Amino acid sequence: VIPKMAEVEISVRSYVKLVLHAAKYPHCAVNGVLLADRKRYKDDKTVVIVECVPLFHLALGLSPMLEVALSQIDAYCDQNKLIMAGYYQANELIMDASPTTLTYKIMDRLCDNFHDASFYMVDNSKMTPDMEDAVFRVYALHDGKFKERNPDSITLDDQCLSAASGLLNQKVFRNLVDFDNHLDDITQDWLNNHLNEVIEIHSW
């Protein structure tokens, strides 16, 4: 477990969208990126994850699609003073929460631009309706290798688990849009602004 690194705080919106993406495609591997507030990191070296962008559920590592997605997300980050600070992945098999070649490939790219980036491997067995703790394990680069982060360095917003649990039970994941959906029909919003309002209501 890694010693002192930048603290990470995860917003309700980010956590819930990650969970909903994995829940929408339970028989597929899924992945996505997590965006952090650039100013908060600059001011106090805290990685505050404020947004989650679901990427794929069909072919996670298809290079041309990945390039299109990352360049659009990059442009969005520039416009909104955000940084790509994390990557998440849920594997196809319920008991498999191990990083893959793709995980490391995308993380190498993220770390080139932001050395405090982390990746989040979803433990599918924790994707339960009554969600008692975080559904992922978090890893970061330390001495040139990716190692699991100390759980104490990751803070979930107080409402993350209850909001995710409530929205899972309501099957709100049906409305989630990932980049596969967007590339299939570009009128579909990969930022999921329609879900942000629903999540906000459940965060009280």
Q: What confidence tens digit (pLDDT) does each residue in 2-22 have?
A: 446 889 999 999 999 999 999
What DSSP string runs through 92-157? SSTT-----HHHHHHHHHHHHH-TT-EEEEE-GGG--TT--S-SEEEEEEETTEEEEPPGGGEEE-
Closest CA to 126 of 136, 116, 118, 141: 136
102: left (phi over 0), alpha (psi -120 to 50) or beta: alpha
Residue range 32-67, pLDDT digits in tens: 999 999 999 999 999 999 999 999 999 887 789 999
pTM, to two decimals: 0.95
| pLDDT for the residue numbered 4 | 65
Count other C-beta atoms under 10 Å from residue 150's C-beta. 14
